[in-house]
Amino acid sequence: AVDVRKLYANTGGFTFDPGFTSTCSCESAITFIDGEKGQLLYRGYRADELAQKSNYMEVCYLLLNGELPTQSEYEEFTDAIRMHTMLNESLKRFFTGFHYDAHPMAMLSSIVSGLSAFYHDTTNTADPEHRKIFARRMIAKIPTIAAAAYKYSIGQPMIYPKNELDYSSNFLRMMFAVPAEEYEVDPVAAEALDVLLILHADHEQNASTSTVRLAGSTGCNPYAAISSGIAALWGPAHGGANEAVLKQLSAIGDVSNVDKFIAKAKDKNDPFRLMGFGHRVYKNFDPRATVIREHCHKVLKAYGGDTDGMLELAMKLEEIALKDEYFVERKLYPNVDFYSGIIYKAIGIPTNMFTPMFAIGRTVGWVAHYLEMISDPGMRIGRPRQIYTGATERPYTDIAGR
């Protein structure tokens, strides 16, 4: 067989591919996407089927290990995740350094980076035990950090994890419980959150995962690599879109304004884009959006209906856009972020926490890709080239002569 890496390595020629629209950066056995068919497979299993039949912990195990767990493997894994949910008490002091209105994504990326100062052991990434502990710590602690960031931003004390709860319920309790008061997690909210976490768990070489791989390829501390992925996710062209969608729906306000906003999105002299529409890979539909739209109906029904009209507005926008030549020609469809915010809002998650919710779900994907990369004996530092467009060589002029 031809070793593709050797064939193309150091040939002296470059490809020029801004935005990496046609560049494969690695081989991977984790997630498969067929953008034309709207197919998303985690380790061969359909993500929408997993969302219906499985749970987030099982999917984490699958993405990390390649197979669904047996009962005993599942119990061992979930027990280990529970064991790692706490934060070192000194880490709590990091939160108080932030201004009260800091965006939770700023806190999340900084505090995850801060984990690298606590866990030097996992820099020994050649040891499989260390790799395993890193994966479990990261997945276990990210909801605790995200919820603590939210609590800090509203001036409430952090709620410690309650480890007899499942992953999603534990997070919701850390978000919404207050000390000395009973708090019952709503099972509808916990189930909806679990589905959203599954659907966000991995998406092959997206911008944040590629960032984790690029940073990790230098041999940096793995928590620092994950922190760089969180930073990349924050942008509105990527994970930040879920927050932007809800802000945009609020700005549209009413079905009667939809046409005006569609016209704005089509105007090439206006940088405005319809947030939650379009995808680099999906050119027919995003299978995650389809599942989330269905769940929107279920969740809103349990919460007394579409009281603020956001779901009706979103569906109207989708209906009009899907018939519009501009969107049809460019194959622009609702993506995963178009409907997720409606569910988050219904279950009480504030808008600035939407992107941290995405980060919680995607953490397992980042970790799985990081581990796959460092396990590859052929791994090389990621180092793209460029086409230089600057000045040609010229002599230095002393400051007095400029």
**Could you list the residues that contact ligand ACO (CB under 6 A)?**
19, 237-239, 241, 265, 273-280, 330, 332, 335-337
Catalytic residue of the set 48, 194, 286, 337: 337
Residue 279 CB, nearest distance to ligand ACO (Å)? 5
Residue 68 CB, nearest distance to ligand ACO (Å)? 25
Choice between 191 and 337, CB closer to ligand ACO: 337
DSSP label of 256? G
376 belongs to the catalytic site: no
Structural tokens at position 270: 């206006």
267 belongs to the catalytic site: no
The SS3 call for residue 321 is helix
Contact 276, 337 (CB under 8 A): yes
DSSP label of 309? S
Q: Is 155 left (phi over 0), alpha (psi -120 to 50) or beta?
A: left
Choice between 256 and 269, CB closer to ligand ACO: 269
Whose tokens are 């999603």? That residue is: 168
Q: Could you give the residue ranges of the DSSP H alpha helices within 16-127?
A: 47-53, 56-65, 71-83, 89-96, 104-115
Residue 217 CB, nearest distance to ligand ACO (Å)? 22
Catalytic residue of the set 103, 279, 295, 369: 279
- Which candidate, 186, 180, 182, 187, places its Cα nearest to that of 156? 180
Q: Determine the Cα–Cα distance for residues 206 and 199; give it in Å rounded to an integer.
A: 14
List phi, psi (to 5°) of 343.
Answer: -70, -45
Choice between 30 and 158, CB closer to ligand ACO: 30
Choice between 85 and 242, CB closer to ligand ACO: 242
Question: How deeply is 196 buried, as exposed, middle or buried, from its count of CB atoms within 10 A (0-12, 13-18, 19+)?
Answer: buried
Residue 228 CB, nearest distance to ligand ACO (Å)? 16
Q: Determine the Cα–Cα distance for residues 315 and 24; give it in Å rounded to an integer.
A: 35
Q: Determine the Cα–Cα distance for residues 107 and 361; give it in Å rounded to an integer.
A: 17
H or E element that contains 318: helix 310-323
Residue 281 CB, nearest distance to ligand ACO (Å)? 8
Choice between 20 and 160, CB closer to ligand ACO: 20
Choice between 275 and 357, CB closer to ligand ACO: 275
Residue closest to ligand ACO when measured from CB atoms: 278
Q: Determine the Cα–Cα distance for residues 156 and 398; give it in Å rounded to an integer.
A: 58
Whose tokens are 């000045």? That residue is: 391
Residue 329 CB, nearest distance to ligand ACO (Å)? 8
Residues tagged active-site: 279, 337
